[in-house]
Amino acid sequence: MDQPEPSYINYDTFVDPDFVATTFANRLVLSTNNPSDSPIDINTPLSRVLFDVQDIDTRIDSLTSRSALPLLEHTRDDIRSATRITQALDAQVATLTEAFDRLHREVIQRHEAAEETKTASERLWSTVKLGRSVSRCLTLGRRLEAQMAEVQPSKAVGRRGDDHVAMVRSASSILSLRQIFATARPGGDAEGLDRITVIRTLRAEMVDPAEEALVSKSDQIVGQFSMSSLTASGGDSSASNNTTPINLPQSEDTRSRATSALTTLYLLSPVSNSQAVFEPSRLIAALQEYLRRAITSSLAGLAAGLAALPKLDRTLSEVSARCQNIVALEILLESIKPPQHPMVNTPDAPIPSADEQTSQATAPSNFLRPLLNSLDTNSLPSYFWRSMASQLTARVQKILRDGGVSARTLRTNRDRVGDAIRRCVDRGSQLPASSLSKGRSTVVRNWEREATVMVSAVVKPL
């Protein structure tokens, strides 16, 4: 290897990483001038720098001239190597291009075709599910129409009466339709069902009117419930003059009709997933209305009887009859177990696993429990007597304020009135002489507290 030619230039100074041009120039100027000279001579250091540059240029030229052949050979070798690498890469690129083309043909194009097929299949499946839902709705609509014809037979058919059992079947059909309608939401099995004209027509002209008719008829049957052995009247005071005892066939018919009406109201009650225990609102509302009418009618009749004592015995008989109806209703409600409801879990259903947990409410153990919970009481007869007693004192005080013969007669016969009211409570606490009392004791429980409250409500103001 050739030794480098000697040079007076100190290359280490210029290749030093800490080299600073301004510092080097300042040092060069100071080395060629006296700091006290004025003006400073710049030509000498500038000539030196130019001489150094010329020397470096000469040295570069000498090196390149002497090493031109090795440099050209090295460049030629680099070009040949690059050419070989490029040729090898071209072959690899061609192979990759061919593989990509084959992949595009065999995978990507087939995937695109598969995606189209998948989209078509999904849409066809949605159409099939929607068609099945429509068909199911129409089938249930025809069934509901036939069942409603049994519930409300037309005179042209020539049938007598109505089939109260068909009310439960109709309610079940409506419930099935409601289930299908619920799946019409986005993401449901019947998404878009509510946009179909025939379904909207079915819902507006068949389902909703049928539900209203069933609820109205059930409310009517519950309002007319009467099992009393003292009178065949219900909660309506205008019908309480009939004192013909109800016979066994009539009691069985009344019981079965009431059971169908109560079951219908239970099934048609809206379900809220926020409830832990299902509260059948329509059933509770109908029973509360029945109790309200019985209390209101009894309170009005008892106030009139206290104002005119000759009518008191008849009025107390009517009040006892209404309480007997309530006793019979309580026993009937306790005996009815909730029917199967698709949106409500049964009380004895097995506890689902963590993966099967649902937000469905649980059905009550019987029809009586929700009503007692809503009234905050443990007995319907007790609620009847105590509700009457809480309002009766004001009626007695009004009679006393009005004065006259009614007030004087009432004060004179306060003991007799108290005894009559106590007997009224005792009679009303007895079960009706019907199939409901079969196998049960005549008196359900001790009603002495209720009798005392009723007597105090009337006698205490006197």
| Helices marked H in 224-311 | 248-268, 281-307
What pLDDT sits at residue 73? Answer: 85
Angle at 260 between CA 257 and CA 263, to 5 degrees: 145
Per-residue model confidence as pLDDT tens for the chain (462 residues): 455 556 667 777 878 888 888 888 888 888 778 777 777 778 888 888 888 888 888 888 887 888 788 888 888 899 999 999 998 899 899 999 998 888 888 888 888 888 999 999 988 988 888 889 999 999 999 999 999 988 876 544 444 456 788 899 999 999 999 988 888 888 777 788 888 899 999 999 999 999 999 999 999 999 988 887 664 343 343 333 333 455 667 778 888 999 999 999 999 988 876 777 788 899 999 999 999 999 999 999 998 888 888 888 899 999 999 999 999 999 999 999 988 887 777 665 554 444 444 456 788 888 999 999 999 988 899 999 999 989 988 888 888 888 788 788 888 888 888 888 899 988 888 876 654 444 444 444 678 888 888 888 888 876
| Closest to 440 measured CA to CA, from 454, 430, 449 | 430
What pLDDT sits at residue 433? Answer: 63
DSSP 362: E
What pLDDT sits at residue 193? Answer: 86
Count of beta carbons in the 10 Å neighbourhood of residue 411? 13
What pLDDT sits at residue 154? Answer: 57
What pLDDT sits at residue 137? Answer: 92
One-letter amino acid of 357:
Q
Quick check: helix, strand or coil at residue 134?
helix
| β-pair type (344-345, 361-362) | parallel
Which residues does 107 contact at the CB level (< 8 Å), separation at least 6?
none
Distance of CA 137 to the CA centre of its chain: 23
| Helices marked H in 351-447 | 368-375, 380-402, 404-412, 414-428
Which residues does 245 contact at the CB level (< 8 Å), separation at least 6?
229, 230, 232, 433
One-letter amino acid of 299:
L
